[in-house]
Amino acid sequence: MTTKISIQAAHKTFGEGERGIVALQDVNLQIGSNEFVTFVGASGCGKSTLLRCIGGLETLSSGSIKVDGVDITGPGVDRAMVFQHYSLYPWLTVTENIKFSRQLRAGRENLTSSDVEAASGRADALINLMGLNHVRDAYPNQLSGGMQQRVAIARALLPRPQILLMDEPFGALDAQTREVMHDMILHVSKLEKTTIVFVTHDVEEAIYLGQRVVVMAPRPGRVDSIYEVDLPAQRDQDMKLEPGFLQQKKAILNRIRETAGMRTDLELLERMTKQAEQQNDMQ
Amino acid sequence: MSSRNKILAKWDSIWVIRGELSRRSYLLFALFGMLVPLAAWWGLSVSGWMDKVFMPGPMDVLSRAYTWLMEDELSHDIWISTYRVLAGFSLSAVLAIPIGLMIGTYRPVQAMLEPLTDFIRYMPAVAFIPLVMLWVGIDESSKIAIIFIGTFFQMILMVAEDVRRVPITQIEAAQTMGASRAEIVKLVIVPSAKPALLDTLRVTMGWAWTYLVVAELVAANSGLGYSILRAQRFMQTDKIFAGIILIGLIGLTIDQLFRWLHRRNFPWLYKK
């Protein structure tokens, strides 16, 4: 597998001087072509910051991020991004949203009519792929959250990006819709041969989707450990209940709890319950 | 359930916090809210408790408005006042929208202009009258200038706020799709802020009308505000009432026009 994204000694500090917060400390990572990598970690671990740095929305304080060996210098059409919500344009219909990036290029380049036709063909193909045909002329706020995210993904895929960056894209959806979206995005990754970097707080989602799961740790934000996922390439919802899957889920969850320094103090809770019971008895 | 209970249940249901109200009930309540003060006013005037000079009745006001229309120049007064308000307001809008857009979009512009605007907007527009007379004279432009001063600075700040409310993810999504800064302003920020901007215009239009009387303090010899001021000199309280109510009615009409424009131009906000 050839390396698509190469992160070297990435360091990011927010704020200045003593009050500065280290969001990323010495992150080194290689992401392969057409790989699906997921990032999990306790809040404040810098997983979203790292994603935004790859997307060019934030700049590193030091270190470098290379795509195909070339340093990135801001956002670019080779790296599309899908956000958790509020990223669609409510004044445009579904089709117009999906064609937005094309509209930008149409303003700059002298497109021939066959180019425009090809773009329309691409938009139609994505609308079909995402199951949006029946709502193509609807406005985003007429759609459910799951449908809105389908539009956002289709919009991101239109210019055929080599990399798709996803920042908790299904975080606001209900469990059933998420399952559908999971299988859909796996299908897309196979079909489009896109490299996908996916940030989530849901460990199950991370294992189900990722070929590798990167666990990040907070204060300072850093890569803690990387888990290779040992599941067949063709995923299936039942796999989530198999022992191997559950074991890995348990291992990752425990690792996240340890890095977060947060554990439920069961003894303390027990003592508090007993105290409360005694008080009730006395009354 | 007895019919009495049914009525009680229905009565209770319309008082649900942020509940639903049918269109018919809404209109009924609105009508009630308008008619009660009108009836109270009428009752007060016919009771004879108050001198007509202090409190003219609805019929007195209506007949005064009629003679104003027939024997005086009501239509001209309405026209000239509307013209002044619209001219001052439009001038404000034409300048405040681009300036507010820049303040809300670019930090250096915000740093340069926002504190200054915040400072000026607290200055009373009335106090500028002598200066306005000195600088722009006493013709039409002075009235327009007062209305401009009264609305312009507030409008800048409101426009800037509307622009800042555009969700950052909408902007970042455009950046990741390769949009240039100019494209983001033109294709994302402006269309995204448009509905809020039209609302801002609607609200500031109301303020522009409140500055009319002040504006027509300056060497005017026609207009609704001017007529109110002159009626005050002759103790024509019925004419004062008529003038105030007319301004209110014109304001209400323009307000409804803005709401209609809102529904017409931003259909996606009304489709569910």
pLDDT digit string, tens, across residues A232-272: 889 999 999 999 999 999 999 999 998 887 666 788 888 89
Mean pLDDT score of chain B, rounded to an integer? 92
Of the listed ranges A93-97, B100-104, B148-152, B220-224, the one predicted with least confidence:
B220-224
- Of the segments A16-25, B8-17, B188-197, which one has the largest average pLDDT value? B188-197
ipTM: 0.88
Mean pLDDT value of segment B76-88: 95
CB of B184 less than 8 A from some CB of A: no
Residue of B257, B245, B205 whose CA lies nearest to B90: B205
Structure tokens at B158: 């409101």
Number of A–B residue contacts, CB under 8 Å: 78
Structure tokens at B13: 């249901």
Going across the sheet that includes A3-14, the strands are A21-32, A3-14, A62-67, A70-71
| Chain B residue whose CA is closest to A90 | B268
Residue A109 — pLDDT band, cuts 50, 70, 90? Answer: low
The predicted structure's pLDDT at residue B271: 81
Q: How far apart are CA A147 and CA A139, in angstroms?
A: 11
Assess whether pLDDT exceeds 90 at residue A106.
no
CA distances from residue B192 to A88, B164, B252 in whole angstroms, order as listed? 10, 11, 27
CB of A57 less than 8 A from some CB of B: yes
Contact by Cβ (8 Å): B177, A77: yes
Tell me whether strands A163-167 and A195-199 are parallel, antiparallel or unpaired.
parallel
The predicted structure's pLDDT at residue B2: 75
Mean pLDDT value of segment A195-218: 95
A3: left (phi over 0), alpha (psi -120 to 50) or beta: beta
Nearest to B169 among A86, A103, A105 (CB): A86
Contact by Cβ (8 Å): A61, A37: no
CB of A14 less than 8 A from some CB of B: no
Mean pLDDT value of segment A269-282: 89
CB of B186 less than 8 A from some CB of A: no
| Chain A residue whose CA is closest to B176 | A75
Å between A157 CA and nearest CA of chain B: 10
Assess whether pLDDT exceeds 70 at residue A169.
yes
Going across the sheet that includes A212-217, the strands are A79-82, A163-167, A195-199, A36-41, A212-217, A222-228
Q: Do A76 and B266 touch (CB under 8 A)?
A: no
DSSP tag of B188: I
The predicted structure's pLDDT at residue A107: 66
DSSP tag of B210: H
Assess whether pLDDT exceeds 70 at residue B121.
yes
Q: How far apart are CA B208 and CA A258, in angstroms?
A: 62
In this structure, how many other beta carbons lie within 10 angstroms of the beta carbon of residue A279?
A: 9
DSSP tag of A142: G
Q: Peptide bond preceding B37: is omega within 30 degrees of 0, i.e. cis?
A: no
Q: How far apart are CA A170 and CA A153, in angstroms?
A: 11
Structure tokens at B19: 């509940």
Nearest to B268 among A76, A85, A90 (CB): A90
B103-142 burial, b if ≥16 CB within 10 A, otherwise e? bbbeeebbeebbeebeeebeeebeebbeebeeebeeeebb
Strands (E), B168-230: none
Tell me whether strands A36-41 and A70-71 are parallel, antiparallel or unpaired.
unpaired
DSSP tag of A231: S
Nearest to B176 among A75, A84, A142 (CB): A75
Structure tokens at A253: 């969850």
Mean pLDDT value of segment B23-40: 93
Assess whether pLDDT exceeds 60 at residue B1.
no
Q: How far apart are CA A13 and CA A63, in angstroms?
A: 12
Mean pLDDT value of segment B73-85: 93
Assess whether pLDDT exceeds 70 at residue B111.
yes
User: Which of A87, A88, A160 to mutate to probe the B interface, most B CBs <10 Å?
Assistant: A87
The predicted structure's pLDDT at residue B129: 86
Contacts of A42 (CB under 8 A, 6+ apart): A217, A218, A256, A257, A259, A260, A262
* Cα-Cα end-to-end distance for chain B: 35
Q: Tokens 């000199």 appear where?
A: B233
CA A232: distance to chain centroid?
21
Q: How far apart are CA A222 and CA B237, in angstroms?
A: 77
Residue A110 — pLDDT band, cuts 50, 70, 90? Answer: low
Backbone phi, psi, residue A225, to 5°: -155, 160
Q: How far apart are CA A83 and CA A97, in angstroms?
A: 14
Residue B90 — pLDDT band, cuts 50, 70, 90? Answer: very high
Nearest to B268 among A57, A91, A152 (CB): A91
Note the pTM of the prediction, 2 decimals: 0.87
Q: Do A105 and B167 touch (CB under 8 A)?
A: no
A236: left (phi over 0), alpha (psi -120 to 50) or beta: beta
The predicted structure's pLDDT at residue B126: 83
Q: Do A139 and B175 touch (CB under 8 A)?
A: no
For B66-75, the CB contacts below 8 A with 24+ separation are B68/B227, B68/B239, B68/B242, B73/B222
Q: Do B187 and A80 touch (CB under 8 A)?
A: no
B19-31 burial, b if ≥16 CB within 10 A, otherwise e? eeeeeeeeeeeee
In this structure, which amino acid lies at residue B39? A
Burial class (CB in 10 A: 0-12, 13-18, 19+), A138: middle
User: Which of A100, A155, A164, A166 to mutate to probe the B interface, most B CBs <10 Å?
Assistant: A100
The predicted structure's pLDDT at residue B45: 86
Assess whether pLDDT exceeds 80 at residue B55.
yes
* Cα-Cα end-to-end distance for chain A: 70
Write down how long chain A is. 283
Of the listed ranges A163-167, A264-268, B115-119, B263-267, the one predicted with least confidence:
A264-268
Q: Do B183 and A90 touch (CB under 8 A)?
A: no
The secondary structure of A114-131 as a DSSP string is HHHHHHHHHHHHHHHHTT
The predicted structure's pLDDT at residue A13: 93
For chain A, percent of residues with pLDDT exceeding 90: 69
CB of B169 less than 8 A from some CB of A: yes
CB of B174 less than 8 A from some CB of A: yes
The predicted structure's pLDDT at residue A112: 67
Assess whether pLDDT exceeds 90 at residue B11.
no
The count of C-alpha atoms lying within 13 angstroms of the C-alpha of A176, restricted to the half-sphere facing its C-beta, is 1
Q: How far apart are CA B94 and CA B155, in angstroms?
A: 10
Mean pLDDT value of segment A166-171: 94
Taking contacts as CB-CB distances below 8 angstroms, the residues of chain B near A139 are 267-268, 271
Residue of A46, A51, A57, A50 whose CA lies nearest to A22: A46
Question: What's the pLDDT tens digit per position in B152-174?
Answer: 999 999 999 999 999 999 999 99
